[in-house]
Structure 1
Amino acid sequence: MNKLLSGILIGLSLTAQAQSAREIMYVGTYSVRGSEGIYVFEFDRKAGTMQPIQSVSNAKSPSFLAIHPSKKYLYSVNEGADKLGGVSAYAVDKATGKLQFLNGQSSLGGGPCHISVDQTGKTAFVSNYGGGSLAVLPINADGTLSAAADSVQDAGTGPNEKRQERAHVHSATLAPDNRFVYVADLTTDKLNIFDIDVKASTVKPASTPYVSVKPGSGPRHFTFHPNGKYAYLVEEITSSVAVFSRDAKTGALTMISDNINTLPADFSGQNTSADIHIDPSGKFLYQSNRGANTLAIFSIGNDGKLTKVGDQPTEGKTPRNFLIDPKGDFIFVAHQDTDNITIFKRDQKTGKLSYTGQSVKVPAPVCVIMTSL
Structure 2
Amino acid sequence: MVPDRDPEQPDVLVFGEARSGGGPGRLRLRKLGLPAVLAAAVLAAVVAYVAGSSGTVAAPSASPSPVAPSRSPLPSLSSDAPEVTELGHPLLGVTAPWELFGLGPDGVVRIELARGRITRTAVPPVDSSGPISFLAGPGTAIVRPLDAVAGYAVPDGQRARTLAGPLGAFGPALPGPDPAHMWAVVQSNGQVQAMRLIGFDGRPTAASIALPPTSGGNAAPDGAGYLVVYAAGGTYDLRPGSIRRITTGQLLAMGPTGWLTLECDDQLRCFTVAVDRSTWAHRVLGPAISTSGPSGLISPDGRAAAIATQNSSGASSVHLIDMSNGKDRVLAVPARGDGDGMAWSPDGRWLFVAGTDARVHAIDPTGRDHDLGVQLPVLDQLTTRTAP
TM > 0.5 fold call: yes
Match of 1:371 in 2: 385
Unaligned runs of 5+ in 1: 1-18, 30-34, 157-166, 197-203, 226-230, 264-270
Match of 1:331 in 2: 351
Q: Which of these residues, 109, 113, 121, is aligned with residue 40 of structure 1?
A: 109
Percent identity, aligned pairs only, is: 12
The one-letter amino acid paired with 1:25 is L
Q: What CA distance in whole angstroms lies between the structure 1 residues aligned with 2:245 and 2:118?
A: 43
Q: What CA distance in whole angstroms lies between the structure 2 residues aligned with 1:240 and 1:341?
A: 34
Cα pair distance change 1:195/1:344, threshold 3 Å: closer
The one-letter amino acid paired with 1:290 is Q
Residues 242 and 258 of structure 1 are in contact (CA less than 8 Å); yes or no, is this contact kept in structure 2? yes
Match of 2:198 in 1: 139
Q: Which of these residues, 127, 130, 135, is aligned with residue 66 of structure 1?
A: 135
Residues 137 and 148 of structure 1 are in contact (CA less than 8 Å); yes or no, is this contact kept in structure 2? yes
Match of 1:212 in 2: 247
Cα deviation code 1:277-322 (max 9, x no counterpart): 3345443222222335222112233xxxx32141112224424320
Report SS of the residue matched to 1:307: coil
Q: What CA distance in whole angstroms lies between the structure 2 residues aligned with 1:137 and 1:87?
A: 20
Residues 23 and 42 of structure 1 are in contact (CA less than 8 Å); yes or no, is this contact kept in structure 2? no
Match of 2:378 in 1: 362
Q: What CA distance in whole angstroms lies between the structure 2 residues aligned with 1:312 and 1:44?
A: 23
Report SS of the residue matched to 1:155: helix
More relative contact order, 1 or 2 (CA 8 Å, 6+ apart): 2
Match of 1:8 in 2: none
Displacement, 1:132?
10
**Does 2:153 correspond to 1:90?**
yes
Displacement, 1:98?
6.5
Displacement, 1:329?
4.4
Match of 1:295 in 2: 318
Match of 2:211 in 1: 152
Cα pair distance change 1:195/1:146, threshold 3 Å: closer
Match of 2:303 in 1: 283
TM-score (norm 1): 0.57
Displacement, 1:78?
0.9
Alignment of 1:1-373 (within 5 A): 24-28=99-103, 35=105, 38-44=107-113, 51=118, 53-57=120-124, 58-60=126-128, 63-68=132-137, 71-79=138-146, 81-82=147-148, 88=151, 90=153, 92-93=155-156, 96=157, 100-105=161-166, 112=171, 115-119=174-178, 121=180, 124-125=183-184, 135-139=194-198, 142-144=201-203, 151-155=210-214, 169=218, 171-173=220-222, 175=224, 181-185=226-230, 188=232, 190-196=234-240, 204-206=241-243, 209-214=244-249, 217=250, 219=251, 221-225=253-257, 231-233=258-260, 242-247=273-278, 253-257=280-284, 260-262=287-289, 272=292, 274-291=294-311, 293-301=316-324, 306-321=325-340, 322-334=342-354, 338=356, 340-346=358-364, 348=365, 350=366, 352-354=367-369, 356=371, 360-362=376-378, 365=380, 367-371=381-385
Residues 361 and 372 of structure 2 are in contact (CA less than 8 Å); yes or no, is this contact kept in structure 1? yes
Displacement, 1:124?
1.6
TM-score (norm 2): 0.55
Alignment length (residue pairs)? 281
Q: What CA distance in whole angstroms lies between the structure 2 residues aligned with 1:174 and 1:357?
A: 26
The one-letter amino acid paired with 1:90 is A
Cα pair distance change 1:126/1:343, threshold 3 Å: farther
Displacement, 1:74?
3.4
Displacement, 1:224?
2.5
Residues 109 and 119 of structure 2 are in contact (CA less than 8 Å); yes or no, is this contact kept in structure 1? yes
Would you tell me which structure has more strand in proportion to its own residues? 1
